[in-house]
Structure 1
């Protein structure tokens, strides 16, 4: 915008003096905000596939997945019953990080169904965290005094076989757009709540037009200080972090914390690091919480490499949870004592700020239970 002429030189404001790329990006961001009101997909990087397209192209069967990895069906476990109980869903960007020809790839292990999931195992249940006891109304889980978790959707971009909510009654907690009034009212009725956690499913499965409306409603509650978002979607489909998302992030008055879910160093690549850089440039704190899983990340090397890779990508290790005893996932479980010993070994190789807290969620406790690593002499 022209603001005056002095000695024959046209003066422009500070925005006009910015590089053309920055000015164009600012114009696109403003235009995207307008488009979101009308639920239109905004302009994006022409070289990047829209995340919804990548989601639609996700793999839904072992027969489709195995040829991409150079594996034959004979190398697969029997999985018909497990697939019927909990379907396969794996985005192609995540598959691209799996090791070709390796049936024991740690990323593959997390998503490949196995009929051993159907075997009954004592001590494993459909609701290992007793979330049903803390579900006071539709879509609300309220276990801790100052935090409320909102089940925004039952959908995920990837179906992880160890998921502690694989049996959650999402049908009873499906939240229609107009029902957000009840969420706002619940928070207002609990004035000690100062943080809202968007969970699911995966909250980033919602359209940004929906998310931006929800965030605007939450912004209006003076009692709230923070908004936390738990999501695995940017790990499996990095393009989910786009201009649409960043446009509502930047206008929120709340401190936004994005807690990603990555379990293995091979899940982190340059595309994710680039997206994390964009998020942090908009003031988002980016953390990671993982789950300790048998034959996936239950080694010193796997844990050290994960923390190092996360930090290289701008993500701070936060929690490493012991396995929640969900029905169908017993083969992933690791005894507590073994987990503590493992993390004691890991601590020898990492600085304190790269050590995730080993933790267990115990139903009825007022907070997560942090488990101290145990140290044993080197052999």
Structure 2
């Protein structure tokens, strides 16, 4: 499929612009929109079946009254703890995260960084030279993740300047661009040759650029979205997909399996399935951990090895924790990467809690269990 050079996305930022909603629905959603920002475009909204009130694409972007349920925190993973300067987080020795944008093509209702849109002037990188100096002064940093917001909402010249600065730092090997743009606005990729030129220039044989896509449902993988992924790959980017498990969107094994299969078919490697973070407003979108484990494992049982390479993880304040599963009345976890590197690879065992949505909900660790003894069962990965 070729891009239509005349394509233009129209953006909606107010609930009253959603003509498909009844007056009563719009009225009921006004308090939600006053608290949490709404933004989407006509391309993504065209994927919704408006005759289905439970349509998964609708659920992903159209506000819901349940977002007002009291639950969660604005910073559920304590990113502030690891913030060196506005927009720069350094949690793991080898990896730095740069929040380079405070804008997204569309705002997902389950977003864990709602604070970026509530206080946009605080939460993104404003001093790029200082950030580059910090990275240059830390030779242990080999990976830099560009996120936000969405880096691909930036003008390509701005993004290219950041990438070029990073490429001047010898020890930075991998640049990752985390983006939902391939799902929300694939024409942005197809119609901007300067973007693919930038990737082609800076994604080299020994220092790759990774584009971390964020497809959450098979219907997002339209012909034009698949073509956008292919364009990024042909330019030299390695693509991998990470997504949260979202209630009412992809929380059944058949839907999740269909997504994993399609991602493997197009070479967009399934990388992580995240536990939905307990951010303010996210209760209605969250699947309990133990139910999530069962959904993920059932989905994996339906697909080939190339589609099941993902891990089911949570981005906890103490590290990235993999949910291994439940055995009898025990629930097992493993530190895939710990903020305290000595804990990386350590396995944890807790008494099962089917209602738990976060590690902190497991009140009873099993002290005599070998997994909880102060040594590592496996080395860090």
Fold shared by both chains (TM-score > 0.5): yes
Deviation at 1:139, TM superposition (A): 1.2
Is 1:361 the counterpart of 2:309 in the alignment?
no
**If you compute each CA radius of gyration, which structure gives the higher value, 1 or 2?**
1
Which of 156, 165, 168 is 1:220 aligned to? 168
* Equivalent pair of 1:343/1:373 in contact (CA under 8 Å): no
Aligned residue pairs: how many?
319
Aligned to 2:184: 236
Aligned to 2:237: 284
Aligned to 1:27: none
* Equivalent pair of 1:273/1:314 in contact (CA under 8 Å): no
- SS across alignment from 2:59: helix
Is 1:370 the counterpart of 2:312 in the alignment?
no
Which of 117, 129, 150 is 2:98 aligned to? 150
- SS across alignment from 2:90: strand
Counting only pairs closer than 5 Å after superposition, residues 26-45 of structure 1 correspond to structure 2 as none
Aligned to 1:159: 107
Q: Aligned pair in 2 of structure 1 residues 221, 328: CA closer, same or farther (>3 Å)?
A: same
Counting only pairs closer than 5 Å after superposition, residues 248-267 of structure 1 correspond to structure 2 as 248-252=198-202, 253=204, 254-267=207-220
Q: Aligned pair in 2 of structure 1 residues 329, 208: CA closer, same or farther (>3 Å)?
A: same
Is 1:87 the counterpart of 2:29 in the alignment?
no
Aligned to 1:190: 138
Which of 62, 67, 73 is 1:112 aligned to? 62
Aligned to 1:59: 12
Distance, in Å, in 2 between the alignment partners of 1:220 and 1:303 is 40
Distance, in Å, in 2 between the alignment partners of 1:333 and 1:305 is 20
Q: Aligned pair in 2 of structure 1 residues 130, 49: CA closer, same or farther (>3 Å)?
A: farther
Distance, in Å, in 2 between the alignment partners of 1:152 and 1:350 is 36
Deviation at 1:64, TM superposition (A): 2.6
What 5-or-longer segments of structure 2 have no aligned partner?
329-381
Q: Aligned pair in 2 of structure 1 residues 278, 59: CA closer, same or farther (>3 Å)?
A: same
Aligned to 2:129: 181
Aligned to 2:83: 135
Aligned to 1:22: none
Q: Aligned pair in 2 of structure 1 residues 374, 352: CA closer, same or farther (>3 Å)?
A: farther
Deviation at 1:202, TM superposition (A): 0.6
Is 1:345 the counterpart of 2:281 in the alignment?
no
- Deviation per CA, 1:268-289, whole angstroms, max 9, x where unpaired? 1110111111111122111111
What 5-or-longer segments of structure 1 have no aligned partner?
1-44
Distance, in Å, in 1 between the alignment partners of 2:295 and 2:167 is 42
Higher strand share: 2
- Deviation per CA, 1:255-305, whole angstroms, max 9, x where unpaired? 010001111101111101111111111221111111111111110111011
Moved more, 185-194 or 163-172: 163-172
Q: TM-score, normalization: structure 1?
A: 0.80
Which of 30, 33, 49 is 1:99 aligned to? 49
- SS across alignment from 2:296: helix
* Equivalent pair of 1:293/1:334 in contact (CA under 8 Å): yes
- Deviation per CA, 1:11-37, whole angstroms, max 9, x where unpaired? xxxxxxxxxxxxxxxxxxxxxxxxxxx
- Deviation per CA, 1:158-191, whole angstroms, max 9, x where unpaired? 0111100002453224434xx2110110101211
Distance, in Å, in 2 between the alignment partners of 1:141 and 1:47 is 38
Deviation at 1:46, TM superposition (A): 7.9
Q: Aligned pair in 2 of structure 1 residues 343, 47: CA closer, same or farther (>3 Å)?
A: closer
* Equivalent pair of 2:217/2:250 in contact (CA under 8 Å): yes
* Equivalent pair of 1:342/1:373 in contact (CA under 8 Å): no
